[in-house]
């Protein structure tokens, strides 16, 4: 069974999320996107727990089903803020739970450490190693996945508060960490450059704060399992058998790929940052150091290194992003929705449009310019002006009126890597 899974997302009780975000909306837009398994998100929040319990039923396999049969897994994200090694640490972890009983026990344990009712992603002063050890005492099937591991502010390797190795963060519990979430601003090829990460499955999820199709499923993980159950997904994560790769946005699209200062409207490559010794040339304060710089700091392999037997990954920008760029308008406008809906009506879901729709069929629905942009995205030829300090990157298509020869990184720079790592089984086989 082929599964496209997005297991890291949030409900409406998390800060910075849509007030209309619900289980029903998540299912509705997962179907539009082409995602076939969702995480519940935020399972420790009491109000969200009520929604999960009222909308989903556990069929005994660890998979919760909606009334129409759409599958969810119990997931949440927990923020750990504490001190270690004379430095403040701020680490986010995704937690997978095998059933609602485990959810209740996890929530009960966390209540002994603090509150869970003020945010869907609560904060606790618990070191990572203690966090994993305590969850495993509840149930050995509980899985902890370090979230968006390179993001500057809240992550395992983040420049502002992270560590230089998995062992440093998780200590004697490192043996129970099986997978790492790459995050929007990195992809597997960047992570392959660190030999210390060879043992880990590299997974991608959207960390969506809304249900819109340019957020949900923008990154996802591909599984090929005998049956859809919690145990089968867990086994794939722990053994990497049945883990068939990921869907990634181009890392430059991520909000923290390069270094810079949003307030100063300044973006710098890692080389430029090193030249300025990490200090903003505009305001003279320390720069927000992004993912590219941190990878360079910790990498012990050259650019272009390909990990042996690594699953394939597929680099795609969301369809709405491409349409908005071609129309020269904002992403949530009526113009974009009109075009988007016409494509979904014709091809069934977004992944079918992005990966499978023939050129002739696309041109029968949209104009040649947009059809060409969709095919360019599929071929990995969209460059992206890198995101920095909370600013998303901007796509640049080959036939755009103004290019970006300076300060552009994108799929072309990793073209050979991606060509080598994409296997015979394409993402189209999953939808």
pLDDT tens for each residue of 352-381 = 999 999 999 999 999 999 999 999 999 888
Q: Report percent pLDDT > 90 for the chain.
A: 90
CB 97 within 8 Å of CB 75: yes
Q: Quote the pLDDT of residue 149.
A: 98
pLDDT 10s digits, 61-82? 999 999 999 999 999 999 999 9
Residue with tokens 């909000």, as numbered in its chain: 255
What pLDDT sits at residue 417?
37
Maximal CA-CA distance, the chain: 62
Is residue 426 over pLDDT 70? no
First to last CA, the chain: 11
Q: Which residues contact 122 (CB under 8 A, 6 or more apart)?
A: 44, 45, 78, 79, 110, 114, 115, 116
Q: Quick check: 423 pLDDT over 90? A: no
**Strands 266-268, 37-39: pairing kind:** unpaired
Residue 406 has pLDDT above 50, yes or no: no
Rounded distance between C-alpha atoms, residue 25 and residue 135, angstroms: 30
Stretch 249-274: mean pLDDT, rounded? 97
Candidate CATH numbers 3.30.70.20, 3.20.20.140, 3.40.640.10, 3.30.420.40; the one for domain 2-253 = 3.20.20.140
For residue 255, pLDDT beyond 90: yes
Whole-number pLDDT of residue 128: 98
The whole-angstrom separation of Cα 193 and Cα 299 is 5
Q: What is the mean pLDDT of residues 199-205?
A: 98
Element at 359 (helix H, strand E):
helix 359-363
> Mean pLDDT in the chain?
93
Split at pLDDT 50, 70, 90, the class of 428 is very low
pLDDT at site 401:
54
Contacts of 389 (CB under 8 A, 6+ apart): 255, 256, 259, 260, 261, 262, 267, 287, 288, 290
User: What distances in angstroms separate CA 205 from CA 33, 170, 214, 365, 419, one per listed residue?
Assistant: 13, 22, 13, 30, 22
Q: Where are the domains of the chain?
A: 2-253, 319-381
Say whether pLDDT at 212 is over 90: yes
Rounded to the nearest 10 degrees, the angle between the axes of helix 23-33 and helix 46-55 is: 60
């Amino acid at each position: 069974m082929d599964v496209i899974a997005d297991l890291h997302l949030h409900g409406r009780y998390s800060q910075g999320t849509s007030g209309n975000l619900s289980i029903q909306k998540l299912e509705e837009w997962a179907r539009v996107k082409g995602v076939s398994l969702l995480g519940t998100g935020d399972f420790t929040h009491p109000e969200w727990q009520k929604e999960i319990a009222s909308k989903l039923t556990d069929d005994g396999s660890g998979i919760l089903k909606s009334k129409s049969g759409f599958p969810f897994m119990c997931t949440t994200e927990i923020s750990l803020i504490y001190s270690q090694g004379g430095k403040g640490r701020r680490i986010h972890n995704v937690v997978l739970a095998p059933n609602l009983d485990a959810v209740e026990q996890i929530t009960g344990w966390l209540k002994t450490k603090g509150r869970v009712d003020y945010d869907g992603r609560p904060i606790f002063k618990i070191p990572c190693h203690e966090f994993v050890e305590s969850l495993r005492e509840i149930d050995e099937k509980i899985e902890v996945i370090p979230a968006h591991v390179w993001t500057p502010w809240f992550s395992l390797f983040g420049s502002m508060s992270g560590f230089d190795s998995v062992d440093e963060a998780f200590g004697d519990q490192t043996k129970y960490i099986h997978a790492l979430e790459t995050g929007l601003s990195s992809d597997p090829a960047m992570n392959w450059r660190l030999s210390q990460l060879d043992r880990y499955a590299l997974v991608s999820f959207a960390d969506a704060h809304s249900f819109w199709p340019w957020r949900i499923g923008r990154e996802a993980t591909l599984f090929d399992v005998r049956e859809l159950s919690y145990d089968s997904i867990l086994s794939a994560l722990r053994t990497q058998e049945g883990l068939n790769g990921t869907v990634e946005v181009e890392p430059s699209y991520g909000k923290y790929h390069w270094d810079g200062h949003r307030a100063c409207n300044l973006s710098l490559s890692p080389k430029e940052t090193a030249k300025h010794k990490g200090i903003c040339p505009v305001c003279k304060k320390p720069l927000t150091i992004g993912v590219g710089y941190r990878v360079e700091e910790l990498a012990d392999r050259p650019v272009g290194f390909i990990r042996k037997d690594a699953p394939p990954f597929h680099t795609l920008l969301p369809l709405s992003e491409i349409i908005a760029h071609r129309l020269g308008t904002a992403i949530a406008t009526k113009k974009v929705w009109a075009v988007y809906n016409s494509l979904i009506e014709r091809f069934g879901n977004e992944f079918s449009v992005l990966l499978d729709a023939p050129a002739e069929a696309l041109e029968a629905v949209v104009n040649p310019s947009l059809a060409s942009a969709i095919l360019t995205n599929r071929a990995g030829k969209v460059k992206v002006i890198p995101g920095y300090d909370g600013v998303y990157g901007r796509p640049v298509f080959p036939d755009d009126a103004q290019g970006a020869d300076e300060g552009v990184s994108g799929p072309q720079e990793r073209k050979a890597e991606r060509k080598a790592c994409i296997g015979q089984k394409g993402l189209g086989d999953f939808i």
